[in-house]
Structure 1
Amino acid sequence: MQLEIKLKTKKDAIIKFDYLYEMHSALMSKIMNYNPDMAKELHEGKHKNRIKLFVFSPLNSMPNPRLVDIEGEKRKRMMLGERLWFRIASPIPEFLNTLGEAILSARTLSFGDNDFNVTGVNIVAPPEFKEEMIWRSFGQSASICTTWSPRSSEKKLFIYPDTTPEGSPDCAKLLAANLHHKFLRLNEIRDDIAKSWLADAGLKELPPEECIRIEFLPLSDKQEYRTIMHYGKSSAIKSWRCPVKVKAPVPIQRLIRVAGLGSLNSQGYGLVEEGKSC
């Protein structure tokens, strides 16, 4: 399930360009205040140090956001429009419902130096799921992050659609492996949902990872993909944006919509919607 959160802020509100970590913290604090038991389960229970199966998008703004220089700061900030929206998604309904209720009941979402008024929480209608679908990053600034760590190092490498460091799987294989792992994780924590999705697709078990085929489509006639760099809590995070064609069993397509593409989904990367080639 995907939920769209609608916000309103004061005119010409300014926010850090690298606000995703603060936004993540604000969302988690809403769960902590609204349902401490669920928050404890996320941080200390079976979800600890594991894929969270939760994804959210960056903010979208109307009028469109624009970068502004701030005296004394090297990094630009963003000036937002008064009307804002973003999406959250998860295959775990009780988690998403709790977060949606927490945001709505609080009436505000605060991070950085801004307080955003919550004006609505709506369920987003799903598309018709097929074995071949095109997915695009949601909204104005969402992007996909693909990471790989060599066994001999704890260093995390960021992989783009057309770059493959020596010894690394290519970006398409990393996305496929990540999706397969996410489904296994779903089956581990909510086998009722995983089995229901498989049964709806006429499957008894999930086909092997090799059945997931990934193709990157050009962002435009002049650009294959766009790169974006944010700074997280302590390091740079490199991501990319272009349409992605996925050929896979329908349960995997359903998972893409509610758990995201790529890595760092719970940090604000990988929320997608059905899209076109360009």
Structure 2
Amino acid sequence: MRIKLEFISDSEIKLRSGYNSLIQGLIYDLLDYVDAKKLHDEGFKFEKREFRLFSFSEILERGYVNKSEHVITFDNKISFLISSPVEWILKQIALNSIVGDDFKLGGNSLRINAVSVLKSFEEFIAKGSVVVKALTPIEVHSTFITANGARKTYFYTPFENEFSELINKNARKKWKAYFGCECSYELSIKPLFKDKKYETIRYFIKKDKKTIIKGWKGLYMLNAKPEFLRFILDAGLGSRNSQGFGLVEIVR
């Protein structure tokens, strides 16, 4: 399930480049405090992994980018999508956005203008095979320790077997974390492009820490049993979903 939130302001909305953490913070602010803290601190656990099981889009409106100041300026209205297989997360966000007053996003004061539930495309999911468009970059990686003891992160491309394999393993772990049982399903993902123009570099900025993340947009073919496909479309593909990565929409 996914919802769209639309906010308005009395003036232009200005955000720093790499604003994902600001959207993430707003989402947690829209949850009830106790639930937000538990989701943030613990999430849904599988072995040593913790999953928050939500993802979100970039701001849907186009803004003006000031490259020298690293600031994006939008008109007085912005909107974005939030997706999750966890019903209470979306219900709390929708309700609290409606009953709340002003919300802070960076240095901006916002008011809710509209909340809508988006179409689920069940007729496509029921077939077990869909073509999706990545609204935010899909990211999978491995971290290694080099010979001199330094940590190095390698980001996989859709043209490497590990890309599909790791997304499938990640999806199965999310299922186990949420349902608390073994996952008997498999997910396959195949890129429907052959060049590198969909490679995307994003910056996730949290306090004073700036993390460079490489992911991929573009079109992909997904195949899985409908119940597994529905779950992972809501949860997000790959890693860092709750940081704004791996959100896709069905094209056909």
TM-score, reference length from structure 1: 0.76
Deviation of the 1:206 alpha carbon: 4.3
Deviation of the 1:240 alpha carbon: 1.8
Give me the whole-angstrom Cα distance separating, in 2, the residues matched to 1:244 and 1:94: 29
Aligned partner of 2:168 among 176, 194, 197 = 176
Residue in structure 2 matched with residue 4 of structure 1 by the alignment:
4
Structure 2 gap ranges (5+): none
Residue in structure 2 matched with residue 58 of structure 1 by the alignment:
58
SS in structure 2 of the partner of residue 60 of structure 1: coil
Query: Structure 1 residue 186 and structure 2 residue 183: aligned?
Result: no
Residue in structure 2 matched with residue 68 of structure 1 by the alignment:
66
Deviation of the 1:208 alpha carbon: 4.7
Query: Structure 1 residue 269 and structure 2 residue 245: aligned?
Result: yes
Deviation of the 1:79 alpha carbon: 1.9
Deviation of the 1:216 alpha carbon: 0.5
Aligned partner of 1:207 among 184, 205, 218 = 184
Give me the whole-angstrom Cα distance separating, in 2, the residues matched to 1:11 and 1:45: 37
Residue in structure 2 matched with residue 230 of structure 1 by the alignment:
203
Deviation of the 1:176 alpha carbon: 1.3
Q: Deviations over 1:197-228 (max 9, x none)?
A: xxxxxxxx84354xx22100129xx7652312
Which has more strand, going by share of residues?
2
What is the count of residue pairs matched by the alignment? Answer: 240
Deviation of the 1:44 alpha carbon: 4.6
Residue type matched to 1:131 in 2? Answer: G
Aligned partner of 1:119 among 88, 113, 137 = 113
Residue in structure 1 matched with residue 93 of structure 2 by the alignment:
99
Gap change, CA 1:170 and 1:97, over 3 Å in 2 = same
TM-score, reference length from structure 2: 0.83
Residue type matched to 1:177 in 2? Answer: K
Deviation of the 1:107 alpha carbon: 3.9
Give me the whole-angstrom Cα distance separating, in 2, the residues matched to 1:15 and 1:36: 25
Give me the whole-angstrom Cα distance separating, in 2, the residues matched to 1:45 and 1:77: 33
Query: Structure 1 residue 108 and structure 2 residue 106: aligned?
Result: no
Percent identical across equivalent pairs?
23
Residue in structure 1 matched with residue 191 of structure 2 by the alignment:
216
Deviation of the 1:5 alpha carbon: 0.5
- On the 8 A contact 2:204/2:243 being kept in 1, the answer is no
Give me the whole-angstrom Cα distance separating, in 2, the residues matched to 1:172 and 1:12: 41
- On the 8 A contact 1:9/1:82 being kept in 2, the answer is yes
Q: Deviations over 1:108-130 (max 9, x none)?
A: 33221212221011111200212
Gap change, CA 1:8 and 1:137, over 3 Å in 2 = farther
Residue type matched to 1:66 in 2? Answer: Y
Residue in structure 2 matched with residue 240 of structure 1 by the alignment:
216
